[in-house]
């Protein structure tokens, strides 16, 4: 199953994982795409921003979404592209490497506390955290971080394995419907990850 295992390639004599290269390509693609849309179809960006603002507002239960929109919106765009960039020949999905989902989950972990402190102040936020069940709270936060990363990684690697197996068993044309299904799954997994991250942030910033 070499097709789904991250491979090491040499760039200027430096060993680099192919998923890291795909991450670079993903970031470059997003920057170029946003620049082109700003020049040609700025209304499409406005529609996406409004969609994300409404989505975040619903989870935040009425709190203003703008303070959290840059982080959550960037997370959504990156995941949508990263989960589906493997449709491009020679590129692989960065999220099939456990390091990428884990890095994103750790970002969410720190973002939760950052936004909580920024909204309630350091002491106000700590008062909420310093409860008799603080040990369980810590375990829950660590478990949430691991769950975020493993859920994304597991679903993405499962899709890659299914397509690779069917590609070996039947004609090359047969996996095409599965690739289309994989695109839908990639968007869905991005949505799930973003919603879980938003829910975690909402729990930190909402008033009790």
Buried b (16+ CB within 10 A) or exposed e, 90-100: ebbbbbbbbbb
Give residue 136's domain range.
2-205
Query: Each residue of 23-71: pLDDT tens digit?
Result: 999 999 999 999 999 989 889 989 999 999 999 998 888 788 899 999 9
* Number of structural domains the chain divides into: 1
Query: Each residue of 83-141: pLDDT tens digit?
Result: 999 888 788 889 988 889 999 999 999 999 999 899 888 887 777 777 666 777 788 88
Mean per-residue pLDDT, 11-25: 83
- The pLDDT value recorded for residue 175 is 61
Token digits of residue 199: 């829910």
Handedness of CA 158, 163, 193, 106 (dihedral sign): positive
pTM of the entire structure?
0.87
Give the separation between CA 182 and CA 158, rounded to whole angstroms. 10
- The pLDDT value recorded for residue 174 is 58
Tell me, rounded to whole angstroms, the distance of Cα 65 from its chain centroid: 19
Give the separation between CA 51 and CA 74, rounded to whole angstroms. 13
């Amino acid at each position: 199953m070499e097709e789904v295992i991250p491979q090491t390639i040499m760039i200027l004599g430096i060993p680099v994982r192919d998923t890291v290269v795909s991450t670079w390509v993903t970031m470059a693609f997003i920057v170029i795409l946003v620049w082109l849309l700003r020049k040609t179809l700025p209304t499409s960006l406005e529609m996406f921003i409004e969609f994300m603002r409404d989505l975040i507002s619903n989870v935040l239960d009425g709190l203003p979404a703008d303070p959290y929109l840059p982080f959550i919106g960037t997370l959504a765009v990156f995941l949508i592209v990263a989960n589906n960039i493997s449709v491009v020949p020679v590129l692989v999905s960065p999220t099939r490497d456990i390091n990428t989902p884990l890095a994103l989950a750790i970002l969410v972990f720190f973002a939760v506390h950052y936004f909580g402190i920024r909204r309630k102040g350091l002491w106000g936020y700590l008062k909420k955290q310093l409860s008799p069940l603080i040990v369980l709270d810590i375990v829950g936060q660590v478990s949430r971080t691991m769950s975020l990363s493993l859920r994304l990684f597991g679903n993405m690697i499962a899709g890659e394995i299914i397509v690779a197996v069917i590609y070996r068993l039947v004609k090359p044309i047969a996996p095409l419907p599965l690739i289309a299904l994989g695109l839908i799954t990639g968007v869905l997994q991005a949505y799930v990850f973003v919603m879980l991250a938003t829910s975690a942030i909402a729990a930190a910033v909402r008033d009790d």
